[in-house]
Amino acid sequence: MTDSEQPRSPGHQVRDLVVWTVLTGLGLVAVLVGARHAALGTQAAPFLGRYRVAPGPWLAVAALLAVAVLLVAWRTRRAAPPFGLVQLVSYGAALAWTLTLSAGAGLGARTGEAGVAAGSPLAYLRDFVDRHAAAAHGHPPGPALLLWALREAGLPVAFTVTALGALAVPLALAAVRNVAGDLPARRYAPVLVLAPYLLFLAGSPDGVAAALGAGMVAAGARASDRRRTGWPATGWALGCGLLLGLAGMASYSVVWLGVSVVLLYFARRRAFLNVATGLGALVVPVVAAALGFSWPAGLLTAHAGFTSRPASELLWGPVSLVTLLLVAGPPLVASMRKMRNTPGWPCLVGAGIAVAFSVVAGVAHGGAETAWLPFIGFLTLAATAPERQAGPPVPAPLLLTAVGAGTALVLAAILTPA
């Protein structure tokens, strides 16, 4: 980082923060006004839930954790510990941040997907489209099957789902390091660890979809790395496809994150890897179809359920976009502003397409705060991109990160437990 770049960064952060504050404030006002004149068909957090001001002791622990993360990021800004250590610490910090935030808000019990009758997961899968799709709230059968398996195994469901979902942080860091570089990935770590969306990761099967999606992008990045050719590259591409297929069983929208990998393959002139990834992606839906579940039919059923709602409920699309702005935090503005300046643009574009699909298909209705979980880690990756293409690196946006952490603390303090 050059001396000339250092004083400019705080100014850019202040500008991004002002833009985010104005957009979020206007969106909040619009949603509150709209909710008075139209039935949105949901009382989902964070805009339309019930509120109370009841900060508890766990929230104080979360605040101390946020301060500690910011201080460590500041003190080690010129250090270069092993990247594996960065991933491990980031995972632990993100998991701790999620658990302490959700402990006070009581959001960790949000695992109420459509139940699977004990001992009959295959029957559930076979009858999903006709009997269970409405109760799955726009999800494929994967979340319900996962929760059933965890209960059958005697594991603590909410904690296990949260721990699996938090893997999205180190996996996203691995992907960002491969496509954008080592230094931007290191400086991106505190942004991911203290992001407001982690409040809603607790107990949400969408968090597992986020981890699978991040692992898919990371595998695709490794497959297309110029240092990897032949069978090793093909193996990683196949693994990328398998993860994509599994992610598609957890969320209809996350499959569009696969566009990130397609764009990455073409940008790196490794287009042939799309064949291996495509073949890998077909394995899971083909097996599911053999067991009685048609993924396209499930998607069409979810979309039909959305379009059959009254016109007033269709206003949930704009509400979900404002929710995305809130739960992604101020780094989203910085990322959108600098998306052309990062070699990680394929990931950002793919995540944007997935968000657009979610809104159009209506699969984020009534749960946008969790539906966006697979995408925020890639929507904000350009927050640590240079201010101009091929320019000098910029410091971690700690001001934006701190405001995002404060936003999460406020939400955790006012949201009524489910």
| Greatest CA separation for the chain | 65
Looking at per-residue pLDDT, the higher value among 10 and 168 belongs to 168
Q: Which of 332, 320, 340 is nearest to 387 (CA)?
A: 340
Give the burial class of 154: count Cβ atoms within 10 A of its Cβ; 0-12 exposed, 13-18 middle, 19 or more buried.
exposed
Calculate mean pLDDT across residues 8-20: 84
**Confidence class for position 36, pLDDT limits 50, 70, 90:** low
Residue 133 has pLDDT above 80, yes or no: no
Q: Which of 402, 314, 353, 362 is nearest to 137 (CA)?
A: 362
Q: Which of 77, 55, 68, 333 is nearest to 193 (CA)?
A: 68
Q: Could you tell me if 258 and 281 are in contact, meaning their C-beta atoms sit under 8 angstroms apart?
A: yes
* Torsion angle in degrees (nearest 10) through CA of 251, 168, 97, 319: -40
Output the six-digit token pair for 325: 């702005």
Output the six-digit token pair for 396: 């971690």
Output the six-digit token pair for 98: 């999620």
Calculate mean pLDDT across residues 148-156: 88
118 conformational bin, left if phi > 0, alpha if psi -120 to 50, beta if neither: beta
Residue 413 has pLDDT above 70, yes or no: yes
Output the six-digit token pair for 313: 């409920």
For residue 167, give the 3-state DSSP assignment: coil
**Confidence class for position 3, pLDDT limits 50, 70, 90:** very low
Output the six-digit token pair for 380: 């904000």
